[in-house]
Amino acid sequence: MRFLLRRLGFFVITLWVALTVNFFIPRLMPGNPAEAMMSRFKGRINPEAMHALEVAFGLNTQKPLLVQYVDYLGNMFTGHFGISLTFFPQPVSKVVLQALPWTVGLVGITTVIAFLLGTLIGMVSGWRRNGVVDSVLPPVFVITSALPYFWVGLLLILFFSLGTNGALPNDGSYDPSLDPGFNLPFIADVLKHAVLPALSILIISIGGWILTMRNNVVTTLAEDYIRMARAKGIPGRKIMFGYAARNAILPNLSGFAMSLGFVVSGSILVEFTFNYPGLGYMLLNAVDNQDYPLMQALFVLITVAVLIAILICDFFTAWLDPRVRTE
């Protein structure tokens, strides 16, 4: 219980830091870019929205910084992110919610697949030291993990989309001529559009899981309880799954939580490369259009999504590892 409370506390603190950073970035930047943006939009949006924006960026306001800050935190927790300038007059929260499912679907599912597959390969690789899997895969994945996400995406487009005359699409998340909804052609089309972006994320991120898991298994195999199990004559397969992998997977799980931020960062570039309408693509669009409210809301939302995933990981660890619970 103490473990979970501590992790919950960490969640709250990290969220607070992210929100605070988010609050101060536009205020600390030289030359006040927010002001420049406002003057660009003057006359194009109604005075009321203009005022809301001025408050959000701390312009033309008599309120002391502390009051602004408290107001801002209040707005964040009640979901008032302001009004998007590109999608005017829609509120940012509504715009963002349209993009959320695409990212959660693409990045979430791909990451879980990469984790499971990578852990499995890493286990086999560590179990059979110097076997075929072990001698070929780790060096290969040392290389793949050094590749830029977007470049892998571009290569996949070149070979599997342009190279096959468009057998696999490389643009967007579904064919706009189809009727979005719960019908077979639409779902098939969505999956088809997700293949290449998912593959890029998979190729890059799987290497980390393989290497960590392999090294964990190698370290675990030196433990006395493994030798004991061998001495008792327990079949090898059972030792691999029940003794070695089971103990080796725990650090991998916390590693999963830690590297989620990296995966999400990379997936922004993948979404950009494939014009995939998720949070990352929207973030870059917001940057292009100098839509600062949308941009900042997206940063907060991406951070919250990562933090929630980490929290789920923590709960999972507590459930799997009795040592953590009794700590």
Site for another protein in 212-251 (CB under 8 A): 212, 215-216, 218-219, 222, 251
| Residue 112: exposure state from Cβ atoms within 10 A (0-12, 13-18, ≥19) | exposed
Q: List b or e across 85-94, with b for residues whose CB sees 16 or more CB atoms inside 10 angstroms.
A: bebeeebbbe
259 belongs to the binding site for another protein (CB under 8 A): yes
Q: Using alpha carbons only, how large is the chain's radius of gyration in Å?
A: 24
151 belongs to the binding site for another protein (CB under 8 A): yes
CA-to-CA dists, residue 197 to 106, 114, 155, 262, 305, angstroms: 8, 13, 11, 16, 20
Which region, judged by CB under 8 A, interacts with another protein, from 38-46, 59-67, 142-150, 174-182? 142-150
261 belongs to the binding site for another protein (CB under 8 A): yes
Interface mask (CB under 8 A) for another protein, residues 291-310, using x and -? -x--xx-xx--xx--xx--x
In the list 290, 316, 324, 325, the residue contacting another protein (rule: CB under 8 A) is: 290
Under a CB-based contact definition with an 8 Å cutoff, are residues 210 and 122 in contact?
A: yes
Size of the site for another protein (CB under 8 A): 75
Cα–Cα nearest to 137, from 145, 129, 125, 149: 125
State the minimum distance, in angstroms, from the CB of residue 212 to another protein. Answer: 5
In the list 194, 260, 282, 294, the residue contacting another protein (rule: CB under 8 A) is: 260
Which region, judged by CB under 8 A, interacts with another protein, from 74-82, 183-191, 237-245, 285-293? 285-293
Measured distance CA(314)–CA(61) in Å, rounded: 42
- Whose Cβ is closer to another protein: residue 2's or residue 238's? 2
In the list 43, 47, 64, 139, the residue contacting another protein (rule: CB under 8 A) is: 139
- Whose Cβ is closer to another protein: residue 132's or residue 187's? 132
φ, ψ dihedrals at 83, nearest 5°? -115, 135
**DSSP code for 197:** H
